[in-house]
Amino acid sequence: MRRIVLIDGENLVYGLREMLGKDGNRAPRSVMSSLGVRNLIEELLEDNLPVEIVWFGAKLRVYDSTKELYAKSKAAVQIQSAFMNYLQDQKIKFNKVGYLRARESDPCEKCGGQTWKLAEKGVDVGMAVAMLTEANKDTELVVITSDTDLLPAFKAARKMGARIMHIGFEHRPISALSRNSDTNRNITRPLINKHK
């Protein structure tokens, strides 16, 4: 049986940063640059079968409408480029889907000032398409996400005969995804620390 791992990239990064944070604050994004992602996943799978791993992230671009937005979006592009190389060194494919959306934050209640926020959009749709493209009776889809927007894709892929393994986070289980999977695994803090 063929096995392919599909990673909701920013979702995984957010969850790991949350788990590694202290005093209610998320760990910095830089923790990802020392994490053996492939080794962590292979240990979760609990066997030595070959595995293809695909990381899903947005297509980034530089916005130049303001100096602040230019600086933020340029930094995001540089960080993503370096991280893509880091993943490729671990034999993980980076699939660019969706886009980066820039929007102003809500005004500050004290000063009224606003800053620019960058958010990925459409990555979950790209993952859903990949799940349904790959789904068949000879394939196990290992999906790393906590995004319930993917629930219809989980159900459809299983109807198409694919086996689904859902990998989530021990601190934030998503029962809807777990119930619609054949097997489940959780990323734990000790496991993350082992592969840092």
- The pLDDT confidence band at residue 156, using thresholds 50, 70 and 90, is very high
Residues 53-100 pLDDT 10s: 999 999 988 988 889 888 988 998 999 999 999 999 999 999 999 887
| Highest CATH level, class, for 2-194 | alpha beta
Higher pLDDT: 161 or 122? It is 161
* Contact status, residue 91 vs residue 37, Cβ threshold 8 Å: no
Instruction: Kindly report the average pLDDT of the chain as a whole number.
Output: 91
* Contact status, residue 152 vs residue 20, Cβ threshold 8 Å: no
Long-range contacts of 101-106 (CB under 8 A, 24+ apart): 102/63, 102/69, 102/72, 102/73
Does the predicted TM-score (pTM) go above 0.85? Answer: yes
